[in-house]
Amino acid sequence: MHKKIFFCLLFILLSALELIYAQHTQYQLKITCIDSSSGISISDFNVKINKLKISQSANPFGEVQLTHVKSGNYQLQIEATGYAIYQTTFQLNSNLELKFQLCPIHIHLDEAKVFTSNNQLGVSSQLHIISPKLSLEQLNKTNPLNWSQMLKAMPGVYLFQSGPVNSIPIVRGLHTNRLLLVQNGVRLYNQQWGIEHVPEIATENIDQIQLLRGPFTLKYGAEGFAGVLINTGPDYLKENGFHPKTQFAYHTNNKAFGFSEQLQFRTNKIATQLIIGFKKAADAQSPNYVISNTGFENYSCQANLLYQYSNKLSFENKLSIFDIKTGIATAAHIGSLSDLQHAIQSNRPLYMASSTYQIQKPFQTVNHQQWVSKINYQITKAQQIQTLYSIQHNHRQEFDKGVVWSTLSKSAAANDYDLVTQSLNLNYQFQSHLFQSEVGFDLVNGNNITTGTQMSFIPNYTLVNLGAYLTTKYQFKAISFESSYRIDHKHQQVFYRDLNNKVFSPINTFKGHSFAFAFSFPIVEKLTSNFSFMKAWRAPAVNELYSNGLHNSLASFELGNINLQAENAFNFESGLQFKNKYSIVKLNLFFNTLLGYINSTPTGKLTVTNRGSFPSFVFGQFDARFQGLELSLLQVLGKYFQFNYQVQLLKAFQIVQQKPIYAIPPNQMKASLDYNLNYSRRKLHISYMLDWNFVAQQTDFNPLLDYLPPPSAYHLIHLGSTLKFKNNLSFQVQIRNLFNVSYRDYLNRFRYFFDEPGRNISIQINYQF
Amino acid sequence: MIKKFSLIYFSIICLFACTKDEVTQPQFINNTEQISSVVIRLFSIEKPDSVFGIVWRDVDGFGGLDPIVEVMNLKQNQHYQMNMIVLNEFVNPVDTISNEIRKEAAVHQFFYYPDSLLENKLSIHVIDSDETGKPLGLLTALTTLPFLAGQTVKEGNMKIILSHYDGIPKTEKPSPESDMEIVFPIKISE
């Protein structure tokens, strides 16, 4: 009851503030930017007006709109990736529209500021139509508890869940090893093969996420058929000084609370960042019961240091530590096939208890440490060389409930994976007036040690990957052409024992070429078209080759297949974008064909164990197609309203047998209505948000691959409100699943056991000193 | 300055580049702590000298070869006493897990489920119990019922489940989590 009163008061407060400030009238300011050489509009830039303490990114229309700005003289600064920073002054005494021409950085390189963690000279893709990018503000729209949940706001991303909190992203039906994750400029090397292995990326260290598709993905590896999720942290301070930033969040559903502190410091030569975060959550709650043992504890730390030795030479070091302990829902921990059948027959979890912060067995702990060291050397105004070295230590431990007679399982982990990976990247970039290019070389070395009291899914292994790539971009006026080529050689040796404890150490070697190209061009004014094609390949992962174990929660026995060959992807994508003053419509069609798609398929036999008889699955290969459509609409309605609409349709099937593929995201629709008010004079921004999310029932499924048919379709409504004051204090309230709907999601592998979480009210407070 | 820095930088890289020897020496698989064998000893009350045993044994753990499962040969219209021994033979010396189960009787219970083919042909009653008087199931009484006229042999299966009550009260129903689930074929003859 007290929660309802609190939110009623909050609503009244926000509305009252809005009425008070609506009494004043000031001028409006609109800013747009175009490329000085090609004349095309730039949609991704940031405007900073110090006098008003405003730093605002362009909206999807490529505009920064400020309302209620008091008359006077102002100095503004415009920043855009790939362009020189632009500074100017202007006088405001009436409504004003300003249009600036930004110079590409190769023309005015000497004007480029050096204090940036992002690559100023780097080749940036203009194909925004196929590579959506979300800012922190957009990512925070869902008040996420972890990094994967941040991606709910990203178009085309669905989540593959293992309980109410743990999830991994799935893009166009592909996930884990086919979706690359980049953090601190390097690939994240973790136990990515497991669908219950949540990526070790802290939300506190995210300022922007881009889902990169097309040719430039090959810079990061050949396996990213689904794309590359590039996580970018906050940029260094632009001026000398010290800036702390504090964030606090609370969620009612699982009583989760989080705290983070960001400290930034800069002198003439040195810029530093320290970001620490802590989160703790109790058990999640569905509308009708507590989902026991689904709490978590998460610590994270990120320390960055940039030393600018000269105008040409800079050194940067980044250290990140991510540590998490996650409970595995007790009700989903079954011992035999009979247990699963009992759970399915019951509408409620077979184990229920009151909510607690205590995490019992079974649980997982993961500690991931990453050190990245970067050296940048500016050879000439249009040439740059960069070395990027990283070492990553991923230690994952999975603790089972164990059996009474086991002395080991009381303390030791059932599965313990210790993976150390080093990577070295050498990158040379050069630019001319119309042409930009990067050529690079990659070396990756990984060592995995597996121990534990249970038979594991992967053996010990060593891995060496050598790769080289070339990416180019040619731009002439509004026509853009991008291409890339990559060659890889992968050497992998595994070490395991047979029943007689004799060590076997087979070697697997794979090599392959990848290439991609894409171009975009205007058909008529306001209507742009783009095409892209990519041929890439992926060597079978260690688990796909050597898996041999029982998936308790999936009640299945999984076997590897040492005869697997590399899978080859042929991705074709075509898109149209219509953009005018009030609306943006994007339509993408994709046809991704995977020859030799590696997937777990039923053998039709039962594996008899002391836990009962389980259906057996073995990794096999078949040709598969993933095709679909993504449509999005952004419409400005009057002065204050904005309407968003997204549709995602996906169909995946075996090409020869025309059978559906297991665990493909169902079709979905999203719509949101935003109401925004800017009072620049009072430095106040108020916004309200109403979200509707519809997920259809998956009708394409193979009953042989599942114990239950897909759950019914569901609708969810979310509400939100944000109040920003003086650009340094913000207060955000979100109500997810407003009507406390009971539902189960097809891509939650614990859907046999319990419902999804119910209503969640969350509060987030940010303060920048 | 740059030379010194480069030297330190690449020294650090080389230091971390050293690989661990443990990678090439995977752990022994014998340290898994699981049930390898279930031995059932039976004797007929009517014929106390006729002690016999049957075994369910999986020597290579999960996967690999199918377990060896012996048939429980019973006579009709008899009263048997059945004693179960659960072993872990992956360790040396062999661990008698059933002793641990008896010690932790308060959180364990065996359930016996003859299939429909054995309906009205045998019944099972648990004899032993935990300290609170609730059934355990390591020791049971098995009764075969007399055949109807014309019947000579009856075959079917019996599922044995070891339930583990961790954090929940022990009831007459199996818990959501089983420690063991095996099936024995049963043959009842005249």
Instruction: Delimit the domains of chain A by residue range.
Output: 28-112, 137-768
Residue-wise burial string across A253-271, b where 16 or more C-beta atoms lie within 10 A, e elsewhere: bbbbebebebbbbbeeeeb
Pair A223, A535: CB distance under 8 Å:
no
**DSSP state letters, A612-644:** EEEEEEEEEEEEEEEEEEEEEEEEEETTTEEEE
A336, A389, A406 ranked by CB distance to B13: nearest: A389
Mutate to test the interface with B, among A341, A346, A392, A403 (most CBs of B within 10 A): A403
> Residue B15: which pLDDT band, with cuts at 50, 70 and 90?
low
**Cα–Cα dist B138/B40, whole Å:** 10
> Residue B8: which pLDDT band, with cuts at 50, 70 and 90?
low
What integer pLDDT is reported at residue A3 of this predicted model? Answer: 53
**DSSP state letters, A530-570:** EEEEEEEEEPPPHHHHH-EEEETTTTEEEE--TT---EEEE
B 143-172: CB under 8 A from A: 159, 161, 164, 166-168
Residues from chain A that touch B31, judged by Cβ atoms under 8 A, are 408, 453
Mutate to test the interface with B, among A405, A418, A614 (most CBs of B within 10 A): A405
Mutate to test the interface with B, among A609, A613, A617 (most CBs of B within 10 A): A609
B142/A contact by beta carbon, under 8 A:
no
H-only helix segments in A136-248: 136-139, 147-150
Residues from chain B that touch A391, judged by Cβ atoms under 8 A, are 16
CB hemisphere CA count around B148 (13 angstroms): 3
> Over 80: is that where the pLDDT of A36 sits?
no
At the top level of CATH, the class of A28-112 is mainly beta
Terminal-residue alpha carbon distance, chain B: 96
What pLDDT, in 10s, does the model give residues A562-588? 999 999 999 999 999 998 888 999 999
> Over 50: is that where the pLDDT of A541 sits?
yes
Q: Which of A274-278, A385-389, B73-77 has the lowest mean pLDDT?
A: B73-77
Residue A211, helix vs strand vs coil = strand
Say if the Cβ atoms of B178 and A460 lie within 8 Å.
no
For tokens 């202007």, what's the residue? A90
Partnered with residue A101 across adjacent β-strands are A34
DSSP at A647:
E
What pLDDT, in 10s, does the model give residues A686-725? 999 999 999 999 999 888 777 889 999 999 999 999 998 8
What integer pLDDT is reported at residue B81 of this predicted model? Answer: 94
Residues from chain A that touch B13, judged by Cβ atoms under 8 A, are 389, 422, 424
Domain segments of chain B as ranges = 25-189
What pLDDT, in 10s, does the model give residues A40-84? 677 778 888 877 767 777 776 778 877 777 788 888 888 877 677
Q: What does the mean pLDDT of chain B come to?
A: 84
What pLDDT, in 10s, does the model give residues A298-351? 999 999 999 999 888 999 999 999 999 999 888 887 777 777 888 888 888 888
**Cα–Cα dist B94/A654, whole Å:** 49
The shortest C-alpha distance from B10 to chain A (Å) reads 10
B 104-133: CB under 8 A from A: 104, 107-108
Pair A431, A382: CB distance under 8 Å:
yes
CATH fold group of domain A137-768 = Maltoporin; Chain A (2.40.170)
Count of CB atoms situated within 10 Å of the CB of A665: 25
Q: How many CB pairs under 8 A join A and B?
A: 162
> Over 50: is that where the pLDDT of A106 sits?
no
Say if the Cβ atoms of A610 and B35 lie within 8 Å.
yes
Residues from chain B that touch A415, judged by Cβ atoms under 8 A, are none
What integer pLDDT is reported at residue B4 of this predicted model? Answer: 61
> Residue A399: which pLDDT band, with cuts at 50, 70 and 90?
confident
Residues from chain A that touch B38, judged by Cβ atoms under 8 A, are 610
What integer pLDDT is reported at residue B3 of this predicted model? Answer: 63
Residues from chain A that touch B89, judged by Cβ atoms under 8 A, are none
B 49-68: CB under 8 A from A: 56, 58, 60-64, 66-67
Mutate to test the interface with A, among B8, B34, B88 (most CBs of A within 10 A): B34
Say if the Cβ atoms of A447 and B24 lie within 8 Å.
no
CA nearest A351 in B: which residue? Answer: B176
The larger pLDDT score, comparing residue B27 to residue A187, is at: A187
Q: What does the mean pLDDT of chain A come to?
A: 86
> Over 60: is that where the pLDDT of A595 sits?
yes
**Cα–Cα dist A593/A625, whole Å:** 4
What integer pLDDT is reported at residue B23 of this predicted model? Answer: 86
What the block records as the tokens of A422 is 């080093």
What integer pLDDT is reported at residue A105 of this predicted model? Answer: 58
Residues 6+ apart with CB under 8 A from A650: A172, A173, A626, A627, A628, A664, A665, A667
> Residue A22: which pLDDT band, with cuts at 50, 70 and 90?
very low
At the top level of CATH, the class of B25-189 is mainly beta
The shortest C-alpha distance from B180 to chain A (Å) reads 5
Does the complex come out with an ipTM higher than 0.90?
no
**Cα–Cα dist A104/A380, whole Å:** 15
**Cα–Cα dist A433/A383, whole Å:** 13
CA nearest B160 in A: which residue? Answer: A612
What pLDDT, in 10s, does the model give residues A460-511? 999 999 999 999 988 887 788 999 999 999 999 999 887 777 889 999 999 9
- Region A188-198: mean pLDDT is 87
The residue among B23, B18, B178 whose CA lies nearest residue A614 is B178
What pLDDT, in 10s, does the model give residues A120-170? 344 444 454 567 788 887 888 777 888 998 898 888 899 999 888 889 999
What pLDDT, in 10s, does the model give residues B88-115? 888 788 889 999 899 989 989 999 999 8
B87/A contact by beta carbon, under 8 A:
no
> Over 80: is that where the pLDDT of A281 sits?
yes
* Three-state SS letters, A714-752: EEEEEEEEEEEECCCEEEEEEEECCCCCCCCCCCECCCC
B24, B179, B180 ranked by CB distance to A495: nearest: B24
B16, B101, B161 ranked by CB distance to A391: nearest: B16
B35/A contact by beta carbon, under 8 A:
yes
A351, A406, A448 ranked by CB distance to B176: nearest: A351
The shortest C-alpha distance from A605 to chain B (Å) reads 11
Count of CB atoms situated within 10 Å of the CB of A308: 18
Residues 6+ apart with CB under 8 A from A155: A132, A630, A632, A646, A648
- Region B34-55: mean pLDDT is 89
The larger pLDDT score, comparing residue B178 to residue A734, is at: A734
The larger pLDDT score, comparing residue A85 to residue A656, is at: A656
> Residue A5: which pLDDT band, with cuts at 50, 70 and 90?
very low
Residues from chain A that touch B159, judged by Cβ atoms under 8 A, are 338
B21/A contact by beta carbon, under 8 A:
no
Say if the Cβ atoms of B177 and A335 lie within 8 Å.
yes
